[in-house]
Chains A and B, each alone.
Chain A
Amino acid sequence: MPAAQADDLAPDVLVKNVTREVVELISKDKEIRSGNRAKLMEVIQAKVLPHFNFTGMTALAMGQSWRKATPEQRKRLTGEFKTLLVRTYASALAAYSDQKFDYRPLRARPTDTDVIVNVRVLQPGAQPVPIDYSMEKTASGWKVYDVMVGGVSLVANYRTEFNNTVRESGIDGLIKSMQAKNHSLEAAAPEKPAEEK
């Protein structure tokens, strides 16, 4: 769905549409199913990323340290964090094997600008896994600023790691450590993801 259209959609409808579209794309595409990472990245890039606010996610994960970061540092932090998150997301998506989704009704007032959209992944012999998207209304439509999987907030989970690294080696140290992490993953990956320039 083009970003322009997404502007007017309710957050739960947006999540539902994007999830359905992406799942359909990846389950039909033989190349992605057989492990073509670059192609999977293309799909994510086009369909999913426009609905995420990575700067907001980085700011929340950084907490107080965000205030002390220069605009240049913020840009680099966001860039590295985004690369890390997107690759993790791609891994999770690559593991998808026909699980069913259960879209929960949105509990929010029409005037709300900050909502949580609940989706559940159903699987046999196990409790359904809830995925909760924290979303905020912006001028360019609803944007995700945190994802909770099974009650674990991605942003909150990075906060301790970020704080520890900043305390030990400063903001530049954190940028470096994320860079190193991304490079090592890139080296390990068989195919160069489209995300990298």
Chain B
Amino acid sequence: MRWVFLALLVGLAGCATTGEGDPRDPFEGFNRGIYKFNETVDEAIAKPVATAYRDVVHEEIRNRVRNFFSNIGDVFIGVNNVLQGKLYDGFEDFMRVVFNSTLGVFGINDVASDMGIEKHNEDFGQTFGRWGIGSGPYLVLPILGSSTVRDGAGTALDLYTDPLDDVRPMHVRNSLIVLRLTGARADLLEASRILEQAALDKYVFQRDAYLQRRRSLVYDGRPPREPREEEDEEDRQEKPEKQEKPGKQDEKQDKQSNSYLPRIPRNYEAVMAAGYATTP
């Protein structure tokens, strides 16, 4: 499985594309195809199973299942925090594992959160981002969904180091993996319903949300604000090639094409003023 999409990543990276679309998403046509495939699979299998899981299994039990997998995940969240140089956060993650695995009985109770040791959100994709690696083009992976070249490589590593992979016998391992996926999908049922309602074009909405979210996560919720005057929608449309070719030493330009912060227009003040003027 992991090799399949590593191969896919390499294959995609090799495709040179020139297009009119969003500079962050040069493989849009291809991505939309995978997106459609994922939607079909989701509608046919994942969503019905997750809905049944939510409706049949009591919330208390679902919370424990979530906690159990979350506890295993904390080990690698800790590893990633250490790799990013955030030693204290990493220490907290390991303390969470210690408390939750013992007092929390194999992780089914999140006692660490009750003690005030909060869960973090880290993965290898974020670690690569922290190390200064740009996200690269947006990708939709089969089954796994939204990603980028960088995050896809991160996910490959996440899966490679996944402790569930080493569980034997095989049928136990497979059941655990299915349970984890089902729970994760069930947790997203509300979010996907809201997405359905909010988006004019679900593909675009989900892509932009993913890119914004990942950028925020790489910076642990505090992404730097972009300078206002640098971003002008009209400039962007007129000179897309400038955005697409990051210069050799022009780091700043590179960062820009990979940044997903809300773009505050240059005429922000005027726009706001105009807004108030026309408020009924």
Contact string, A150-177, partner B, CB cutoff 8 A, digits 1/0? 1111011111110111010000000001
Q: A6-14, A38-46, A87-95: which lies at the B interface?
A: A87-95
Known: A59-B274, A74-B278. A157 touches B233 (CB 8 A): no
Q: How far is the CA of A23 from the CA of B201 in the complex (A)?
A: 31
> Which residue from B263, B271, B272 sits with its C-beta under 8 Å from A159?
B263
Known: A75-B278, A125-B110. A91 touches B212 (CB 8 A): no
Asked if B85 CB lies within 8 Å of chain A CBs, one says no
Residue of B nearest to A145 (CB): B272
> Which residue from A65, A71, A125, A177 sits with its C-beta under 8 Å from B70?
A125
B200 touches A126 (CB 8 A): no
Residues of B within 8 A of A (CB): 22, 63, 66-67, 70, 110, 113, 118-121, 187, 190, 193-194, 197-201, 204-205, 208-209, 212-213, 215-217, 221, 223, 232-234, 237, 260-265, 267-268, 271-272, 274-276, 278-280
B199 touches A151 (CB 8 A): no
Known: A56-B272, A150-B216, A185-B197. A64 touches B119 (CB 8 A): no
A136 touches B265 (CB 8 A): no
A60 touches B264 (CB 8 A): yes
Asked if A128 CB lies within 8 Å of chain B CBs, one says yes
A151 touches B216 (CB 8 A): yes
**A residues less than 8 Å from B221 (CB atoms):** 130, 151
How would you classify the secondary structure of chain B's contact residues: helix, strand, loop or mixed? helix
Q: How far is the CA of A130 from the CA of B217 in the complex (A)?
A: 11
**B residues less than 8 Å from A58 (CB atoms):** 275
B204 touches A161 (CB 8 A): yes
**B residues less than 8 Å from A185 (CB atoms):** 197
Residue of B nearest to A57 (CB): B275
A151 touches B193 (CB 8 A): no
> Which residue from B190, B212, B215 sits with its C-beta under 8 Å from A157?
B212
B190 touches A56 (CB 8 A): no
**Whole-angstrom distance from the CB of A162 to the nearest CB of chain B?**
8
Contact string, A61-80, partner B, CB cutoff 8 A, digits 1/0? 00111110001001100000
A138 touches B276 (CB 8 A): yes
Residue of A nearest to B280 (CB): A75
A165 touches B200 (CB 8 A): yes
Contact string, A171-193, partner B, CB cutoff 8 A, digits 1/0? 00000011001000100000000
B193 touches A156 (CB 8 A): no
Q: How far is the CA of A66 from the CA of B274 in the complex (A)?
A: 9
